[in-house]
Structure 1
Amino acid sequence: MPELCLLRPDHAPALLAFERENRAYFAASIPDRGEEYFARFDERLRASLAEQEAGECCFHVVIGADGDVLGRVNLVDVADGGAELGYRIAERAAGRGLAGWGVREVCALAAERYGLTVLRARATLDNAASRAVLARTGFAVVGETLLNGRPALTYRRAL
């Protein structure tokens, strides 16, 4: 069974490998991170860890039995008892329920460890897999929006 861990500095090599290996796969359904993300990865990781230390975000990695990063499940913009949920799962691990498992685990952490009472999420209309994960994990559609210029739905889940 995979392990869900709060992001740490020692995850850097596996996290970078995960992002590089899945770049084209992710870009098919969400905006590409761009070359600068990879060129400045260490700097961005330090900034993310500082945001996490300040309580503004909670970045989680899904670690497989071999130590590889299989996914990310993050809480960003933590404030006033709520946060926005985002996640991505490696192509080689997709379709096995890992996203749903990770989202459920982070929802439990959000309520029990981080003291949050509500989570928000967004998914583009053409990302049926992500919308299905949100529906199966208790998120309800509460509106429509644009996500990087693409039609999307907004979701909410009380914890």
Structure 2
Amino acid sequence: MSNIMLVKLQEKHFEKLFKFELENKGYFEEMVPSRGDDYYDLETFIQRNKALIDEQDQGLSYFYLIMNQEGVVLGRMNLVDIEQPKRRGHVGYRVGKAYTGKGIANKALRILLDTTNQLGIRQISAKTTTINIASRKILEKNEFQYIETAKDEFKMNGHLLSFIYYRWEKS
């Protein structure tokens, strides 16, 4: 799975992306809070993603699909809440269950970090949950520094969790 690419979200991707999200809903909700049932209604999904493209067109966020050479959606990677002139943003990502453990998120994050000059970004924050060990490893492999673990806890799927915060800075 070494030939992956980040492709900016476009309307032509909505159908593939919707299918990807539906197929992985249960898997994703094991590790992160649900996006809500309305997210999985096609019309709502399309409207939300059109709003994301508007945000992307304004340079406020960048939304990418992680795809293989055949155009299969393997995951998503988003750089959001971009603050200019501070030149910082927040990253989030998810990889489909069938594609985990293959280094895809690690490689996609590296590709994103390699584009920070073009995007004018110097600092990226990230957060994950205490049970998402894989995500923590990916962030640390890509030179994100641990900042803190939130003192507040929340219950999800019968587990008591906290958010863990990381930050990457361009050297």
Question: Alpha carbons of 1:78 and 1:121: their partners in 2 closer, same or farther (altered >3 Å)?
Answer: same
1:1-159 map, 5 Å:
1-39=3-41, 40-79=44-83, 80-109=86-115, 111-145=116-150, 149=154, 150-159=161-170
d(CA) in 2 for partners of 1:5 and 1:59? 8
d(CA) in 2 for partners of 1:123 and 1:131? 7
Give the secondary-structure state (helix, strand or coil) at the position aligned to 2:162.
strand
One-letter amino acid of the structure 2 residue matched with residue 31 of structure 1: P
> Does structure 2 retain, via aligned residues, the 8 Å contact 1:31–1:148?
no
Query: Percent of counterpart pairs with the same letter?
Result: 30
Question: Alpha carbons of 1:131 and 1:15: their partners in 2 closer, same or farther (altered >3 Å)?
Answer: same
Structure 1 unaligned regions, length at least 5? none
Bigger Rg, structure 1 or 2: 2
One-letter amino acid of the structure 1 residue matched with residue 57 of structure 2: E
One-letter amino acid of the structure 1 residue matched with residue 132 of structure 2: N
- Correspondence for 2:157: none
d(CA) in 1 for partners of 2:122 and 2:21? 30
d(CA) in 2 for partners of 1:96 and 1:147? 32
TM score, norm. by length of structure 1: 0.94
- Greater CA drift, 146-155 or 4-13: 146-155
Give the secondary-structure state (helix, strand or coil) at the position aligned to 1:5.
strand
**For the aligned residues, what is the CA RMSD?**
1.4
Structure 2 unaligned regions, length at least 5? 155-160
TM score, norm. by length of structure 2: 0.88
One-letter amino acid of the structure 1 residue matched with residue 164 of structure 2: L
d(CA) in 1 for partners of 2:47 and 2:26? 22
